[in-house]
Structure 1
Amino acid sequence: MIFYFAYHKLTVESIGIFIWCFLILIKAIHNAQVANISLYSSLTFDSEWMMIAVIPFILLYNGKRGKKSLLTKYFFYIVYPAHLWILMMLKYCLLG
C-alpha cells in the first residue's frame, strides 16, 4: 500500500518504509520480551524489519531502465543460484 499511495514520490515511499520497518522492529523486540527468548533469535526470525536496507536503492533510482545486453539479461539467472549454492556449500563445509 505504501508504494500505491506514494507512486513516483520516492521520499514519501522511503519515509513510509522506514516507519513500517520501525513498527515491525518494535513488534519483534516486544515479542522477544514477552516470549522470553533472546533478542537475536527474535530479530533473525522476524527479519522483515530489514526492509529498511532498500531505502538507499529506492532513493538512487532515476526512473530509467538499465542497459539491455545479453549479459544483463541473464546475469541473475546465473549469479543468484550460484551464490545460493556457494552459501550452501560453505554451510556444509563449516558446520558439517
Structure 2
Amino acid sequence: MENQHQKIKGYRDLSQEELDLMNEIKKQGQVLEDLVKKLRERGNSQFIEAKNHGVETEDWSENHRLLQARPLRWINIAEDHLQQGLMALTRAVAQPTTF
C-alpha cells in the first residue's frame, strides 16, 4: 500500500534529502552489522582455540583471560548501542511526533 506512513499517527512525508539520509543510515547500518558479525566470529574462534589449546597442553591461561575480558559480552553491548544509535539517527531525520 502506497503512503502507508500517512495513516500512522505522527508520521509525515519526507523530502528527497531526508530519504537519501535515511538510506545512508541504513547503508551504514549494514556496514556496522557486518563488522559486528566479523567480531563475533573472531570472539567465538578465540574461545574455541583457547579451549583446544588448554585440552592439548593443560595451559588454560588464554581461556581464563578470555573469560575475564568477556569479549562476546562487549560485542553484544556494542551491537545494542549501535542499533540504538542508528535508530536515534533515523528518528532525527524522520522526526516523528509521537513517543
TM-score by length of 2: 0.42
Could you say which structure has the greater relative contact order, defined with CA pairs below 8 angstroms and 6 or more residues apart? 2
TM-score by length of 1: 0.43
Larger Cα-atom Rg:
2
